[in-house]
Structure 1
Amino acid sequence: MLEILLAVLSGSAAVGMRIALPLLVIAIYSEALWARIPLLSQLAPPIVFGILASWSILELVASKDRLGQRLLQALELVLSPVIGALVGIAIAKGMGVIGSQVLVLAALSGVFALVLQLLQVGWTYRLRRVPLWILFGQDLICVILTLFAFGAPKEGGLIALLMLWLAIRSAVQWQRWYREGRKSKPVKLPD
Structure 2
Amino acid sequence: MIEILATLSASAAAGMRIGIPLLIIGLLQGSNLWSQVPILSHISPPILLGCLTFWSLVELLASKKLWGQRLLQLVQLFMSPIVGAIMGLAVANATATPNWLIACIGGSLALVLQLVQVGWFYRLRGLPLWVVFLQDTLCIALVLFAFDAPWQGGLIALILLWFAVRSAKQWYDWYHTRG
Q: TM-score, normalised by structure 2?
A: 0.96
1:59-98 alignment runs, 5 A limit = 59-93=59-93, 96-97=94-95
Partner of 2:49: 49
Counterpart contact for 1:36–1:89, Cα < 8 Å: no
Quick check: 1:159 aligned with 2:151? no
1:3–1:33 Cα change, 3 Å: farther
Counterpart contact for 1:22–1:143, Cα < 8 Å: yes
Number of residue pairs matched? Answer: 178
In the TM superposition, what is the alpha-carbon distance from 1:58 to its structure 2 partner?
A: 0.0
RMSD, aligned CA: 1.3
Partner of 1:13: 12
Amino acid at match of 1:15: A
Runs of 4 or more consecutive aligned structure 1 residues displaced over 3 Å after TM superposition: none
In the TM superposition, what is the alpha-carbon distance from 1:33 to its structure 2 partner?
A: 7.6
Deviations for 1:115-158, whole angstroms, at most 9, x for unmatched residues?
Answer: 00001000001111211111011000000000000000000000
Amino acid at match of 1:48: L
> What is the percentage of aligned positions where both structures have the same residue?
52
Quick check: 1:144 aligned with 2:124? no
Greater alpha carbon shift after TM alignment, 173-182 vs 145-154: 173-182
Amino acid at match of 1:11: A
Aligned to 2:55, the other structure's residue is in SS state helix
Quick check: 1:106 aligned with 2:103? yes
Q: Distance in 2 between matches of 1:158 and 1:65?
A: 30
Partner of 1:127: 124
Deviations for 1:74-97, whole angstroms, at most 9, x for unmatched residues?
Answer: 11000010111111111111xx12
Counterpart contact for 1:22–1:146, Cα < 8 Å: yes
Partner of 1:188: none
Deviations for 1:46-104, whole angstroms, at most 9, x for unmatched residues?
Answer: 110010000000000111110110111011000010111111111111xx125x61210
In the TM superposition, what is the alpha-carbon distance from 1:37 to its structure 2 partner?
A: 1.6
Aligned to 1:34, the other structure's residue is in SS state coil
Flag structure 2 segments of 5+ consecutive residues without an equivalent: none
Quick check: 1:174 aligned with 2:171? yes
Q: TM-score, normalised by structure 1?
A: 0.90
Flag structure 1 segments of 5+ consecutive residues without an equivalent: 183-191
Counterpart contact for 1:33–1:91, Cα < 8 Å: no
Q: Distance in 1 between matches of 2:173 and 2:33?
A: 43
Partner of 1:115: 112
Counterpart contact for 2:34–2:45, Cα < 8 Å: no
Counterpart contact for 1:7–1:156, Cα < 8 Å: yes
Amino acid at match of 1:103: W
Greater alpha carbon shift after TM alignment, 37-46 vs 53-62: 37-46
